[in-house]
Amino acid sequence: METIQSDSPKKVFIETWGCQMNVADSEQMLGLLRAQNYTQTDKPEDADLVLLNTCHIREKATHKVLSRLGRMREISLEFNPKMKIAVAGCVAQAEGKKLMEKASNIDILLGPGKIQELPGLLAAHAADGKRAMAIGFEKHVVDSHRHDPAPELAVKTEVETPYVTNPTVTMKEEITRFVNIAQGCDNFCTFCVVPFTRGREISRPLESIVSEVKTLLTEGAKEITLLGQNVNSYGDDLVRDGKHVAPADGPFVELLDRVAQIPGVERLRFTTSNPHDFTKPVAEMFRKHKNLGRYIHLPVQAGHDDVLERMKRKVTVAQYMERIQWLRDIDPEMALSTDLIVGFPGETEDEFQGTLDLVEKVRYSFIYAFKYSSRKGTAAARFKDQVPEAVMHERLLRLQALQNRITTELNVAEIGNRREVLCHYASRKEPDVYYGRTEQFRLVKITSTRNLVGKTLTVDIVEANKTALVGVIV
């Protein structure tokens, strides 16, 4: 589809909800829009185009989008009646035409698999004034025995096309940059809509990833985070389809090894990892490459085998702990975070206690904890013994209180340690204050009269609380 490039600059306001994949998608869309002579604004009332990049993980996601669209309608009427509104992301994919019917002020709607079509959709809308929509995913062959999609939600596919690499533009800072290595997920956990809203796993060619990393380094990046719904299964589809020959340790280990050796990659991170695909060779990469950050996000979701089985997580608590041990045998200071769901259907008090016990044993740096949210079409939505809201709320508070104590203890224990801190950004509110992260991903506040952004500093930790550390440059 032909694009239209205006001579006069236009402004775009982008609002992003949800995971880091969405953040990376927003950066890619911004890159595409800048090529069409758009500049970014942080005020919707100044925008010619408002782009809402949505998340469908939590309950009432569509309601949140409709509420925000109502507010954008008010802003448009007051400040710019010609404002165009685009809705992207997982709600756009999941709801499609139904969302367009509910919100007449949507001009453009596109799913995560159609980001590259944004300029063409805008051009088509500008040409004929009609609302434009693109949803669906690339056609991809998968092993039918591995998957068990819910019958209510069919993964829409279209003609087979190569993985499209879009221009990537940072929205906040240039020091740390996200690089998508794969789209979609093939796991079909019983609580999750991601395979339906982001499609099946499609890995990006290794050389394409390496090329983008090198480009980002020339633009000032110091830290690279490789992104995927399940990075540990990166490349399995390429090998299966005969498009790539990987070494015995697997394509993700090969990718980590390649990227870690690129000159200028001061720190390398990756997320998200599914524990059942996390192998010992992946863990050994932390021993081989010192620029691989001493932190990993390893979602477990629950701390009891019966719950994990109902979730279809394909891992036991013992197997999960084995992976933790691999990492901490390599580096006893390895920091971890996780995702946890409380109140999954049928969860008993004993099963929830298993989650508390796991958190106490692992001692995560932080957790992302949520009450179970039933999603239409998922297998878990049909499970009996849904846990009452009041019980879920009480369990969440107990879990959060436990983690708050552990986080505070871990941070306070940092006092007196000497750490390497990569400075990410300057405070917007406090003059001469900068924030960076240790190799273990802990946030550190540093005061200096010189510009520290992008610098790796040796600091002594002198103060700490639940939120952050305070460091003094050595």
CATH code for position 452 = 2.40.50.140
The residue with greater pLDDT, 347 or 28, is: 347
* 458 pLDDT higher than 90: yes
Let me know if residue 372 belongs to a domain.
no
User: Are the beta carbons of 189 and 313 closer than 8 angstroms?
Assistant: yes
- Residue 209's closest CA among 169, 252, 172? 252
* 148 pLDDT higher than 50: no
| Strand 84-89 with 132-134, pairing | unpaired
Q: Which residues of 262-283 are buried (b: 16+ CB within 10 A; e: fewer)?
A: eeebbbbbbbbbbbbbbeebbb
Q: What is the pTM of this model?
A: 0.81
Tell me the mean pLDDT in the region 215-242.
Answer: 94
pLDDT band, very low/low/confident/very high, at 169 (cuts 50, 70, 90): low
User: Are the beta carbons of 46 and 35 closer than 8 angstroms?
Assistant: no
pLDDT digits (tens, 9 = 90+) for 123-136: 999 999 899 999 88
Let me know if residue 395 belongs to a domain.
no
pLDDT at 62: 82
Strand ranges for 130-175 from DSSP E: 132-134
pLDDT band, very low/low/confident/very high, at 183 (cuts 50, 70, 90): confident
Residue that is last in its domain, among 91, 118, 136: 136
pLDDT digits (tens, 9 = 90+) for 25-74: 898 899 899 999 999 999 999 999 999 999 887 767 788 888 999 999 99
pLDDT at 5: 54
pLDDT at 6: 55
Q: Which residues are 110's β-sheet partners?
A: 134
Q: Which residues contact 379 (CB under 8 A, 6 or more apart)?
A: 148, 150, 188, 190, 312
pLDDT at 231: 96
pLDDT at 57: 72
Dist CA 346 CA 386 (whole Å): 6
pLDDT digits (tens, 9 = 90+) for 356-366: 999 999 999 99
Mean pLDDT, rounded, of the chain: 89
Q: What domain range is 109 assigned to?
A: 1-136
Let me know if residue 430 belongs to a domain.
yes
pLDDT digits (tens, 9 = 90+) for 408-441: 999 999 999 999 999 999 999 999 999 999 999 9
* 322 pLDDT higher than 60: yes
User: Are the beta carbons of 420 and 458 closer than 8 angstroms?
Assistant: yes
Split into its structural domains, the chain has a count of 2
Rounded to a whole number, what is the largest CA-CA distance in the chain? 65
Residue that is last in its domain, among 108, 136, 164: 136
Let me know if residue 118 belongs to a domain.
yes
Let me know if residue 197 belongs to a domain.
no
3-state DSSP assignment of residue 467: coil
pLDDT band, very low/low/confident/very high, at 160 (cuts 50, 70, 90): very low
CB atoms within 10 A of CB 385: 10
* 161 pLDDT higher than 90: no
Let me know if residue 174 belongs to a domain.
no
Q: Which residues of 412-429 are buried (b: 16+ CB within 10 A; e: fewer)?
A: eebeebebebbbbbbeee
pLDDT at 94: 84
pLDDT at 144: 37
Alpha helices in 275-332 (DSSP H): 280-288, 305-311, 317-330
* 163 pLDDT higher than 50: no
Residue that is last in its domain, among 114, 136, 158: 136
Question: How many Cα atoms occupy the beta-carbon half-sphere of 5 within 13 Å?
Answer: 6
The residue with greater pLDDT, 162 or 40, is: 40
* 355 pLDDT higher than 60: yes
* 151 pLDDT higher than 80: no
Dist CA 46 CA 40 (whole Å): 10
3-state DSSP assignment of residue 276: helix
Dist CA 273 CA 260 (whole Å): 18
Q: Which residues contact 140 (CB under 8 A, 6 or more apart)?
A: 157, 160, 184, 199, 200, 201, 202, 237
Q: Report the CATH number at residue 6.
A: 3.40.50.12160
3-state DSSP assignment of residue 433: strand
* 471 pLDDT higher than 90: yes
pLDDT at 154: 37
Let me know if residue 41 belongs to a domain.
yes
pLDDT at 197: 80
* 232 pLDDT higher than 70: yes
pLDDT at 173: 56
Tokens 């240039």 belong to which residue? Answer: 174
Let me know if residue 340 belongs to a domain.
no
Pick the range with the lowest mean pLDDT from 112-121, 170-179, 225-234, 418-427.
170-179
CB atoms within 10 A of CB 247: 10
- Residue 381's closest CA among 184, 177, 153? 153
Q: Which residues are 52's β-sheet partners?
A: 15, 87
Dist CA 210 CA 262 (whole Å): 8
